[in-house]
Structure 1
Amino acid sequence: MKYRRILVHAQLVGSIGDGAFLVTSAFYFARIVGLSATEIGLGLTVGWAVGSVAGVPLGHLADRRGPRGVAVALALATAAAVAAFLVVRSFPLFVLATSLYGTAQTGLSAARQALLAALVEPAERTVVRAVLQATLNGGLAVGAALGGIALHLDTPAAYLTLFALDALAFLVAAGLLLGLPAVPPAPVSPGPRLAVLRDRPYALVTLINAVMLFYMPLLSLVVPLWIATRTSAPSWMVSALLLVNTASVLLFQVRVARRIKGLRDASAAVRLAGLVMFAACAVFALSPYGWMFLLVGVVLQVAAEMLLASGSWEISFTLAPDDRQGQYQGFFGTGVAVARMLGPVVLTTLVIGGGTLGWLVTGAVFVAAGAAMAPAVRWALPRRSPEPA
């Protein structure tokens, strides 16, 4: 329980910083740094692309050097990257800073998962991961509120102060992680150093999860654009939908995760998530006929989100060898970077360009991906355990 509390506190502090960064970064880079929208988009894309490539080797480093020390180092690197944004005033330096930020964030996520796997019993990992996810959402909400204050003030001092607090948050997170016991490095196993890159069944599971994660830009980008261009709903509806999503994860994510008892349950949860996401897309498509459809749609969307998260956590931990959790979690986590890079372009093209048909096509992709997870897990099982999926 003590270790869980430390993990939760470190997650909370870091996510508050993340929330403040997400809300204010575009305004800061445009108004203070002086970058164009194209430069901001390109720089962030490059940064997350570099981070997605670095996730596996940094996860491997966590396996071979111990996940606590690597997690602390990467939290410090994240603080340094955020601090660098305070002084960056040119596009090349901006790209370097975003690359450091994306690398540190992706590696930190992998190291934290390896640390969780080492400190928590296998049967409890998914539930603890759900607690951390609920904490993440709560922290993001607090950070977003702080970011809202900076946006309201709209002064260089406000933005600079917020970024300084973001850097400080990761320094505090690093200190909290130091309070965890040192985990000895995993023994060197025979075979290739980065074995996950040759594990085709796990690669397929990761790819399917990446497709499912394309839901990520829905509430932050696609639905707001849809509301603005296709409905008569008030602009504050965007905030209301985000509030429903955040509150639902805080209240129900752990309860959903407790229902996952193994790979069979996890695969079924991902399959159901695909079906529920299709229903959400279909309901969102009806929103030009009434803003109540938006509320129903977000309830379905967050239900699918929680099912997917709970199922994918169980799958990613269970299918990964215990002595290589770091590199496997780093590889699995590349799905987030892929969704962040490609999701906005793909979904805005489909939904905003295609209207109702685009929503239905998007939903059908979620159904197909969700249905594909169980066969993929069964393919991976002979190498791990006899449990059916």
Structure 2
Amino acid sequence: MTPLPTSTARPLRRDSRRGLAQAQFANSVGDGAYLVVSAFYFAKVVGLPPAQIGLGLTVGWAAGMLAGVPLGHLADRRGPRGVAVALAVATAAAVAAFALVRSFEAFLLVACLYGIAQTGLSAARQALLAALVPPAGRTAARAVLQSTLNGGLAVGAGLGGVALWLDTPAGYTALFALDAAGFLVAAALLLRLPAVRPAPAPATGSRLGVLRDRPYALVTLINAVLLFYMPLLSVVVPLWIAGRTSAPSWAVATLLLINTGGVLLFQVRVARRVRDLREACSSVRVAGLVMLAACAVFALAPYGWPFLLLGAALLVGGEMLLAAGSWEIGFGLAPDDRQGQYQGFFGTGTAVARMLGPAVLTALVLDGGTAGWLVIGAMFATAGAAMAPAVRWASARSGSAEAT
């Protein structure tokens, strides 16, 4: 198979689109199960205290954040398909190793391997998509993959629920094996995609030029602030429900269902409205306002738990608007021959949100109550409004279409 050049993406063939989606689904099923059962497994089977679990996962994602740019650069220089396959296999090895750890030291080591492999895999996949898909179709293609991801996570979460019901070491271990197998299947599916010719090394300047690109760094920081929405439904809202409302315990599952179902059904439609940087900035700006509204509604939950349902619906709307806009921005401002390292850097926002979001947002909500919710919402609205000026600065430096 003749490798495709990295600088001129060809129209995405139907079998390539199917391969990308199948690979996404294969590992997302296992990821959904892992997200549901991992904390219980590490606490009950491995015997780690909650503080050590939190520390290990934080250090692991920190390692991943640091490795994202170098691994993205490796994808640019060695070809994103091969690097993505290798990192999918590495992730499978890390997940399998989780089932064998019996000490904090081993857990910490494996958590670092997992965080590094996952973050690098995301950057390499983004670079592969950028090489296979013309610029005008990247956001739409990314939306399809995101919908596929949420479908897989929902299936995996259901399997995780069965394992929690059984509550046996064998049941938990089986799901770790399922997650590892899913990444191996994803590696095999990625290997069937067209190869991409590695990008030539830059003649001048730093090999990791993204680290010197201050406008892109600002855009990435703003996106990271907006990504703090990620722990809201998984950590902050459940604690708010338990401590401040009379909502039934199954309300948490209902909110997660609204979120995954909303993305699965509507993300592609939302992404179709974003076709350039101007529309992307508008989408992010509206996302910040919708997230502000969601936070204000969540603050009303003590007065009636149906407010939780409305808040979840608003939050998933903001999430989809943010995703569509940020994908277009992240791809559009990155040089074609350095998509890997730029996507690796842009992806550090996810690691930052996973590391800092739970502690920061929980402190604001549980200590501040309604005022804390409004502070969080104002943070989202401010970041959303700041994205357009930052993109204008970055696009002026890169020569991209100007945002307004």
TM-score range, shorter chain: over 0.9
What amino acid maps onto 2:43 in structure 1? A
What amino acid maps onto 1:243 in structure 2? L
Partner residue in 2 for 1:166: 179
Q: Quick check: 1:96 aligned with 2:109?
A: yes
Partner residue in 2 for 1:311: 325
Q: Tell me how far 1:160 sits from its aligned partner.
A: 1.1
Q: Tell me how far 1:228 sits from its aligned partner.
A: 0.8
Aligned length: 389
Query: Deviation per CA, 1:27-53, whole angstroms, max 9, x where unpaired?
Result: 111111111111111000010000000
- C-alpha distance in 2, partners of 1:256/1:329? 22
Q: Quick check: 1:128 aligned with 2:141?
A: yes
Q: Quick check: 1:236 aligned with 2:236?
A: no
**Cα RMSD, aligned residues only:** 0.7
Partner residue in 2 for 1:368: 382
- C-alpha distance in 2, partners of 1:377/1:232? 43
Q: Secondary structure of 2:356's match?
A: helix
Gaps of 5+ in 1: none
- C-alpha distance in 2, partners of 1:375/1:316? 15
What amino acid maps onto 1:375 in structure 2? P
Partner residue in 2 for 1:152: 165
Partner residue in 2 for 1:200: 214
- C-alpha distance in 1, partners of 2:112/2:322? 28
- C-alpha distance in 2, partners of 1:287/1:27? 28
- C-alpha distance in 1, partners of 2:101/2:309? 41
Q: Secondary structure of 2:198's match?
A: coil
Partner residue in 1 for 2:360: 346
- C-alpha distance in 1, partners of 2:128/2:359? 34
- C-alpha distance in 1, partners of 2:170/2:363? 37
| Equivalent residue runs for 1:210-229 within 5 Å | 210-229=224-243
Q: Tell me how far 1:383 sits from its aligned partner.
A: 2.4
What amino acid maps onto 1:77 in structure 2? A
2:38 to 13, 25, 38: 25
Q: Quick check: 1:181 aligned with 2:194?
A: yes
Partner residue in 1 for 2:22: 9
Query: Deviation per CA, 1:76-123, whole angstroms, max 9, x where unpaired?
Result: 000000111121111111000000000000000000000000001110
What amino acid maps onto 1:188 in structure 2? A
Partner residue in 2 for 1:61: 74
- C-alpha distance in 2, partners of 1:27/1:375? 44
Gaps of 5+ in 2: 1-13
- C-alpha distance in 1, partners of 2:43/2:305? 32
- C-alpha distance in 1, partners of 2:85/2:372? 43
Query: Deviation per CA, 1:135-172, whole angstroms, max 9, x where unpaired?
Result: 11111111111111111111111111111111111111
Partner residue in 1 for 2:282: 268
Please give the TM-score of this superposition, normalised by the length of structure 2: 0.95
Partner residue in 2 for 1:334: 348
What amino acid maps onto 2:70 in structure 1? P
Quick one: percent identity of the two aligned structures? 75
- C-alpha distance in 2, partners of 1:382/1:287? 44
**After the TM superposition, which of the residue ranges 225-234 and 312-321 deviates more from structure 2?**
225-234
Q: Tell me how far 1:196 sits from its aligned partner.
A: 0.3
Q: Quick check: 1:110 aligned with 2:110?
A: no
Please give the TM-score of this superposition, normalised by the length of structure 1: 0.99
Partner residue in 1 for 2:48: 35
- C-alpha distance in 1, partners of 2:400/2:95? 45
What amino acid maps onto 1:259 in structure 2? R
Query: Deviation per CA, 1:270-304, whole angstroms, max 9, x where unpaired?
Result: 01111111011111111111112111111111110
Query: Deviation per CA, 1:185-215, whole angstroms, max 9, x where unpaired?
Result: 0111131100000000000000000000000
Partner residue in 1 for 2:8: none
Q: Secondary structure of 2:48's match?
A: coil
1:292 to 293, 296, 306: 306
After the TM superposition, which parts of structure 1 deviate over 4 Å for at least 4 consecutive aligned residues?
Answer: none
- C-alpha distance in 2, partners of 1:292/1:168? 39
Q: Tell me how far 1:261 sits from its aligned partner.
A: 1.2
Q: Secondary structure of 1:216's match?
A: helix
Q: Tell me how far 1:384 sits from its aligned partner.
A: 2.3
Q: Tell me how far 1:181 sits from its aligned partner.
A: 1.1
- C-alpha distance in 1, partners of 2:303/2:100? 48
Partner residue in 2 for 1:45: 58
Q: Tell me how far 1:216 sits from its aligned partner.
A: 0.3
Q: Tell me how far 1:386 sits from its aligned partner.
A: 5.1
What amino acid maps onto 2:362 in structure 1? T
- C-alpha distance in 1, partners of 2:266/2:302? 29
1:280 to 277, 286, 294: 294
Partner residue in 1 for 2:205: 191
- C-alpha distance in 2, partners of 1:86/1:225? 28
